[in-house]
Structure 1
Amino acid sequence: MTRRRGGIAGLCLALLLAGCGGAAAPGPYAGQTLEVAATWTDAEQANFEQVLRAFGRQTGARVRYVSGGSDLEVLLSARIAGGTPPDVAMIPQPGVLARYAATGAAMPVTEIVAQPVRAHFSPQWQRFGSFDGQLYGVYFKAANKSVIWYRADAFAAAGVHAPATLDELSAVSQTLVDSGTPAMTVPGADGWPLTDWFENVYLQLAGAERYDRLAAHQIPWTDPTVVAALRLMGRYWAAPGFLRGGPGGALQTTFTRSVADVFGPRPTSAMLYEGDFVGTEIAKLGVYRVGDGARNFRWPSVDGSGDAVVAAGDAATAFNTRPVTMALLAYLASPEAAAIMAARGGFLSVNRDLDPAAYPDAARRDIAGALARARTLRFDLSDLAPRSFGGGNGASMWRLLQEYLAAPDTDPAVVAARLEDAAEQAYRVA
């Protein structure tokens, strides 16, 4: 079935790129130009530009990449207001995609894009890219945000193994501390890892239905399930020795620093929670090899919650209906485009027809497989929320969870009430 699905989509893509009439090189879109905007810089930008070059070679189109970095939404908003949006933007927040779709700035895809998306992507990822029943976004790059990384030598020295439940995580952490190694580095200086902590605990504890309702603010942040999740987080953060440097030290630790604290030449703790992209940072340090000295396990379950994954991703979104624009989106929906970036590392695809052998190592294949096979899959909650609440420096959820990390013995009901006050205001004006 998979081969047939890939074969049909591949034929459609080949016809599209050939102009459906057997046009010879330099391709059906020779002389046409495209502009693509995304958050990616450095290695991610270079890798994605290889994908764009491959598209250009097949079609004759010239594609220019523009990096918006962490200010991509600011760039897009200004360009849209000025009447000069890029042809395509890789949008990481479904809420932002939905806003552009609702205002008519973003365009629904044509059938030439929808067909390969239906062929290669699960219904869940199709829903993530849709608004009001129409498909707008093609999820080219994804992230598995339910991964905890650890040093194999630290676990071996303490005589512990990867935990499967949250209770086991606490027991392993205590054994590590007793052996003289702080259990976990938490990059609290960057607020987004703390929102990811909450999302994983909440999805495991409360389940997918309540997660969806909380993301839509159909239940308040004062709901007992929110308070219970915050209590579990605070209990772990407050445990003596669990956090490297304690809560105060965690608040001074950036994400980049946290990777070096666990996997650098002078490691100071045993574990780090964050997504699959930690593997790229570990490789940059060149001390521990991913899959060998640097290993990972899935976010632990809570009360038998089972297999649940928090995901994120970047959706290719069109701001016009030019045939060349739709051709690029169709190409990004293909296994061929995903394979180019997968081979270079630091990338996960949710394209079901991407050959797992395209990934450079077994660790990344396993993480990608967990993302593809998860029984329960939900998008990053902070990316679903209004930006003033869920994402960006100074966003309420970031700031309030940093305050909770600073004083993890705070009554979680008080933290929940503060989150609800901020959410009520943010969702009202969204």
Structure 2
Amino acid sequence: MMRRRTTLLASCTTLALALGATACGGGPVAAGGGGKSLSGQTITVAGVWSGSEQKNFQKVLDAFTAKTGAKTQFVSTGDNVSTVVGSKIEGGNAPDVVMVPQVGVLQQFAKEGWLKPLSKTTEQSVDTNYASVWKKYGSVGDTLYGLYFKAAHKSTVWYSPDALDQAGVKPPTTYDAMLKAGHTVSDSGLAAFSVAGQDGWTLTDWFENIYLSQAGPEKYDALAAHQLKWTDPTVVEALTTLGKLFKDKQLMAGGQKGALNTDFPGSVEKVFGPKPEAGMVYEGDFVAGVAKDQFGKKIGQDANFFPFPAVDGGKAPVVSGGDAAVVLKDGKNQKAAMTFLEYLATPEAAAVWAGAGGFLSPNKKLDLASYSDDIARETAKSLVAAGDSVRFDMSDQAPAAFGGTKGAGEWKILQDFLRDPSNPKATAAELEKAAAKAYQG
């Protein structure tokens, strides 16, 4: 999840090649054309971003203004997007565009009748520039409502090169080898992993990577839609695999108690902070931003990653998350809003944030040279290369009562499992009970 989380543009030549010689303000483009075609109009864009993410997204908004003349206003919603947007609609003050961080919320908005189907121009760009899985996650039924502009790569294990070098281990390619390497790291004086058990969403991400690799994409899709019960043997097997880590006191910094008292930023600090306690931390590509911004690490030198390894002979998983742009029916400027989404669907728009850092795009037409560092290029390349094998974060596809609420549902049950991983079958039963109630609701 982690939804909150130097050149600004690639060269004009690169963008012109990517966009058919229109990227740098020459002739009209899918974004609504040059010539300040939207001068005098204003669009309001709402999203969860704050801090550096909001600052970098503002650069995208400014680039759209420079191209079209339209003014933009960003409104930060905080994490509870659906509640904030719902209240704004009821108050007659709906934003024109919302950047939605969860598939489940996008589906909820569509079912409430809040969304406008995206334009044919945007849909054509998605068909041409994206793997079809991104269109699937942006659609409800056969209607495309959401354009995935910003993505996360949630199958990355981050490590201290010094810690692994000191232990004499290399990045592993299988889950068993990762645990074995962890024991070697532990023997050298550091715990293997820093686990952010205080934040339940990180535990869902651990489970999802194991499950996708071990059970395969078809079972993953069925479980995500609750067409497969959480009591299925594949779920019990994945929990058993995860439990091997949770019950091994050598592998986790501070053991189970320490993990349950560590939040996500704290888990990164335990690997990359001034007093390291562990050699590795699993989470998405956004770990790099924390390591760089808070602890001054040079990404690729002081902090690096390896892909989440394959489990029990399965394929290495690629789990993603992302923010989808949608247009609200009750917005005051739908035409300009549609033009903005046409712009977001271009490599030109993605290049603005890619150059600023802290961003991955699922747009396969974006030149990788647009990214600000080699590690971002590597993670972006991995995400795009995965194509239709990418699977969206399962908990983000679930109703919030099950997959997105602190102290409840999957988050709490997996925290309880971290505390006591002795009975995977009982944990699976608890997960099914909570899922059945949430999906029914």
TM-score, normalised on structure 1?
0.94
Asked whether 1:379 is paired with 2:392, we answer yes
Aligned counterparts of 1:404 and 1:116: Cα–Cα separation in 2: 43
Q: Secondary structure at the match of 1:426?
A: helix
The aligned residue for residue 327 of structure 1 is 339
The aligned residue for residue 351 of structure 1 is 363
Q: Secondary structure at the match of 2:251?
A: coil
Q: How does 1:25-424 map to 2 (within 5 A)?
A: 27-320=36-329, 322-374=334-386, 376-409=389-422, 411-424=423-436
Aligned counterparts of 1:16 and 1:175: Cα–Cα separation in 2: 55
Aligned counterparts of 1:133 and 1:13: Cα–Cα separation in 2: 35
Aligned counterparts of 1:286 and 1:354: Cα–Cα separation in 2: 30
Q: Secondary structure at the match of 1:148?
A: strand
Contact 1:307 1:374 in 2 (8 A): no
| Deviation string, structure 1 residues 75-112 (Cα, Å, up to 9, x no partner) | 11212233432100000111111121122201111113
Q: Secondary structure at the match of 2:396?
A: helix
Contact 2:45 2:95 in 1 (8 A): yes
Aligned counterparts of 2:340 and 2:96: Cα–Cα separation in 1: 10
Aligned counterparts of 1:191 and 1:164: Cα–Cα separation in 2: 26
Contact 1:6 1:119 in 2 (8 A): no
- Relative to structure 1, the CA distance from residue 64 to residue 287 in structure 2 (aligned partners, 3 Å threshold; closer, same or farther) is closer
The aligned residue for residue 28 of structure 2 is 15
Aligned counterparts of 2:31 and 2:85: Cα–Cα separation in 1: 31
The code of the aligned residue for 2:421 comes to: P
Q: CA deviation at 1:185?
A: 0.3
Q: CA deviation at 1:114?
A: 1.7
Name which of structure 1's ranges 68-77 and 49-58 shifts more when overlaid on structure 2.
Answer: 68-77
- Relative to structure 1, the CA distance from residue 349 to residue 266 in structure 2 (aligned partners, 3 Å threshold; closer, same or farther) is same
| Deviation string, structure 1 residues 374-430 (Cα, Å, up to 9, x no partner) | 162100000001110001323400010011111122x1000000000000100001x
- Relative to structure 1, the CA distance from residue 19 to residue 372 in structure 2 (aligned partners, 3 Å threshold; closer, same or farther) is closer
TM-score, normalised on structure 2?
0.92
Aligned counterparts of 2:304 and 2:276: Cα–Cα separation in 1: 15
- Relative to structure 1, the CA distance from residue 8 to residue 233 in structure 2 (aligned partners, 3 Å threshold; closer, same or farther) is same
Q: CA deviation at 1:16?
A: 5.3
Q: CA deviation at 1:177?
A: 1.2
| Deviation string, structure 1 residues 192-229 (Cα, Å, up to 9, x no partner) | 10000010010011000000000111111000000000
The code of the aligned residue for 1:101 comes to: A
Name the structure, 1 or 2, with higher relative contact order (CA <8 Å, separation 6+): 2
The code of the aligned residue for 2:396 comes to: D
Aligned counterparts of 1:11 and 1:284: Cα–Cα separation in 2: 31
Q: Secondary structure at the match of 1:193?
A: helix
Aligned counterparts of 1:40 and 1:7: Cα–Cα separation in 2: 31
The code of the aligned residue for 1:282 comes to: A
- Number of matched pairs: 423
Contact 2:45 2:74 in 1 (8 A): yes
Name which of structure 1's ranges 378-387 and 316-325 shifts more when overlaid on structure 2.
Answer: 316-325
Name which of structure 1's ranges 77-86 and 254-263 shifts more when overlaid on structure 2.
Answer: 77-86
Identical residues among aligned pairs (%): 45
Aligned counterparts of 1:79 and 1:403: Cα–Cα separation in 2: 37
Q: CA deviation at 1:7?
A: 2.4
Aligned counterparts of 2:219 and 2:92: Cα–Cα separation in 1: 40
Contact 1:112 1:326 in 2 (8 A): no
Q: CA deviation at 1:115?
A: 2.2
Unaligned runs of 5+ in 1: none
- Relative to structure 1, the CA distance from residue 34 to residue 240 in structure 2 (aligned partners, 3 Å threshold; closer, same or farther) is same
Contact 2:268 2:291 in 1 (8 A): yes
Contact 2:46 2:95 in 1 (8 A): yes
Aligned counterparts of 2:97 and 2:26: Cα–Cα separation in 1: 18
Aligned counterparts of 1:199 and 1:287: Cα–Cα separation in 2: 30
- Relative to structure 1, the CA distance from residue 354 to residue 165 in structure 2 (aligned partners, 3 Å threshold; closer, same or farther) is same
The code of the aligned residue for 1:206 comes to: A
| Deviation string, structure 1 residues 154-205 (Cα, Å, up to 9, x no partner) | 1111111101101101100111111121000001111110000010010011
Aligned counterparts of 2:417 and 2:340: Cα–Cα separation in 1: 44
Name which of structure 1's ranges 339-348 and 103-112 shifts more when overlaid on structure 2.
Answer: 103-112
Aligned counterparts of 2:339 and 2:138: Cα–Cα separation in 1: 17
Q: Secondary structure at the match of 2:197?
A: coil
The aligned residue for residue 9 of structure 2 is none
Contact 2:18 2:367 in 1 (8 A): no
Contact 1:215 1:384 in 2 (8 A): yes
Contact 2:151 2:320 in 1 (8 A): yes
The code of the aligned residue for 2:400 comes to: R
